[in-house]
Chains A and B, each alone.
Chain A
Amino acid sequence: METNVETSAAVRVDGLRQRYGDFEAVAGISFDVAAGELFALLGTNGAGKTTTMETLEGHRAVHEGTVRVLGHDPHRERRRVRPRIGIMLQDGGFFADLTVAETVEHWRGFTPAARGRDEAIGMAGLAEKAGVRVRQLSGGQKRRLDLALALLGRPAVLFLDEPTSGMDPEARRETWRTVRDVVAGGTTVLLTTHYLEEAEHLADRLAILHRGRIEASGTVGEVVAGHGDRITFRLPERLRVAELPELSGARADISVDGGHTVATYTVNDVGLQAGLYALLRWADEQDVRLDGLRARSASLEDVFLRTAEGATR
């Protein structure tokens, strides 16, 4: 019996655990991806991204927990799920002796209601390479061909495992445009990437995985919020560290950078605006000049790096 909740989420992961022998690659994660949404899984190598993707693609059985794609178990009900999903593998091989056009042509035979050959080759941006053997394509061109094959059957759910690795910036932009078009057309996309910029550009929501667990998830704004909004300035010569104020409970971290003593406040709790106001009022009252004053919100990169560092400590 499927409830409405189950059918409204295109992808549902609940308490997923995956083990390889003693090693737990995925240690109990849960998330939903709504229909038409682009959800990004971020993480360092070995964080569990690819294992999660391969489980959702139906390549491996679940050890513990449940996963549903379009309301079905992707492994046990592979035949119901596969015709409606598109998969771009991180390390899927090609038949090197086939040309681009032959590859697309054979794959059209394996795909119900497939796009036309020329349309697919056009999507890959390989119209001029149609007669070239796949072994002669560059890494980036192979990724583009891979994407076109994944999109061949106009899938309801598209899995992209590091889709732009090995691409030059132009090809990456081109790929992003294709992915955005697909999402605009109503396709649900699950994407893994090393490139935080990519997630910031494309993702409606994202999750940061580390050692098999979700460390943070939500929209980019939500994930970044409260993760290190920072105010920094150079410590004025005539002040001692002890004389620096508390900003709503936050104390300054002192570091030395380029011969200067630098004070850094992390104002997660009060936020950048209130913290900055308190600091400037204090400076006004003390009549000190704050050189090199900078205030900046955390970026996804800050959150990501902190997550990665957090566990190596």
Chain B
Amino acid sequence: MNPAAVLRVARLDLTLLWRNRTALFTVVGLPVLFAGMLVPMRGQEIDGVDGALLQGTGHLGFFLVFAVFMNLVNVFTARREDRTLKRLRGTALTDAEITGGSILTATAMYAVQALALLAVLGAAMGGRLPADPVLVLAGLAGGVAVFATLAFAVSGITPNAELAQLTVLPIMFGCMLGAGVMFPMDGLPEWLQRICWFVPLSPVVEIVRTGYFGQDFVHGAGHASLAFGEGWLACVRSFLVLIFWAALGRALATRWFRWEPRHA
């Protein structure tokens, strides 16, 4: 894989994203909307921390669903069906360069959102600098890997770009409701909580909150304060779930992803 070639594909992706208003809204508009929803939560204490910050750190993970997951499902489905993937594949670019360029653009868009959200949390919501920025970054990077591979897999079973609005919904709603983005999971019955551990976004949210607040957001209520470095230990289960989803996503992507329409 030639990094320069990946960058050139990413530049093409960025140009196309800019020209496509619907896609641009998914990547830029929806996050702004969600960030606006934080304002009324400000000052309300939930789960021992400020409500705006709790939801804000949840959104930090949840934005992966817009910028990486939904965006890439759209990109790969639309390009497969209009045969532009096939055309790209007819050039000297390798498969990894073609897909890598799109993932890079999606990741860059996500990174911009994440930084902007962190800045908003810090400046307007009484937030702080993350207690363990490296842990936060590791959780988000793992999240990018998981949602990119899931996007490959889901695009493979999405017949066309219009239906991409539907096929992303199960994972989108699952992540919105089951990963503790909006409200803490502690009130749920024990068995349901355990199921929610395995929602693909859950480990991301757990790791991000643990790294941001410097408290244990993996093991139930209470959220004990952690010394620097202890967050990684607290997040072992979360990282294992992330690895599980990355492996499963990869296996499904290998099975389902297609470069050309089924009836070419």
In the complex, A106→B48 CA distance in Å?
52
Residues in A neighbouring B16, C-beta threshold 8 A: 95, 97-98
Q: Is the CB of A89 within 8 A of B90?
A: yes
Residues in B neighbouring A79, C-beta threshold 8 A: 94
Question: CB within 8 Å of A: which of B1-45?
Answer: 5, 8-9, 11-12, 15-16, 19-20
Minimal beta-carbon separation of A295 from chain B (angstroms): 46
Provide the A78-104 mask, 1 if CB < 8 A to any CB of B, else 0: 110011000101011111111000100
Question: CB within 8 Å of A: which of B75-105?
Answer: 79, 82-84, 86-94
Residues in A neighbouring B20, C-beta threshold 8 A: 97
Q: Is A107 an interface residue (CB 8 A)?
A: yes
Q: Is the CB of B83 within 8 A of A106?
A: no
Assess A111 versus B91: contact at CB under 8 Å? Given A97-B19, A97-B20, A98-B16. yes
Assess A106 versus B8: contact at CB under 8 Å? Given A59-B86, A93-B87. yes
Q: Is the CB of B15 within 8 A of A98?
A: yes
Minimal beta-carbon separation of B97 from chain A (angstroms): 9
Minimal beta-carbon separation of B79 from chain A (angstroms): 8
Minimal beta-carbon separation of A160 from chain B (angstroms): 12
Q: Which of chain A's residues has its CB closest to B89's CB? A: A59
Residues in A neighbouring B79, C-beta threshold 8 A: 93
Q: Is A259 an interface residue (CB 8 A)?
A: no
Q: Is the CB of B92 within 8 A of A82?
A: yes
Assess A89 versus B92: contact at CB under 8 Å? Given A97-B19, A98-B15, A106-B8. no
Assess A95 versus B84: contact at CB under 8 Å? Given A102-B15, A106-B12. yes
Residues in A neighbouring B259, C-beta threshold 8 A: 59
A89 in complex: contacting residue of B87, B93, B94, CB < 8 Å: B87
Q: Is the CB of B89 within 8 A of A110?
A: no
Residues in A neighbouring B11, C-beta threshold 8 A: 106, 109
Q: Is the CB of A94 within 8 A of B84?
A: yes
Q: Is A57 an interface residue (CB 8 A)?
A: yes
In the complex, A112→B4 CA distance in Å?
12
Residues in B neighbouring A82, C-beta threshold 8 A: 90-92
Minimal beta-carbon separation of B94 from chain A (angstroms): 6
Minimal beta-carbon separation of A135 from chain B (angstroms): 11
Q: Is the CB of A89 within 8 A of B91?
A: no
In the complex, A82→B90 CA distance in Å?
7
In the complex, A8→B16 CA distance in Å?
43
Q: Please list 12 pairs of residues, one from A and one from B, whose beta carbons are closer than 8 Å in the complex, sorted by A's number.
A: A91-B83, A92-B86, A92-B87, A93-B86, A93-B87, A94-B84, A106-B8, A106-B12, A106-B15, A109-B8, A110-B5, A110-B93
**Residues of B near any A CB (own CB < 8 A):** 5, 8-9, 11-12, 15-16, 19-20, 79, 82-84, 86-94, 259-260, 264
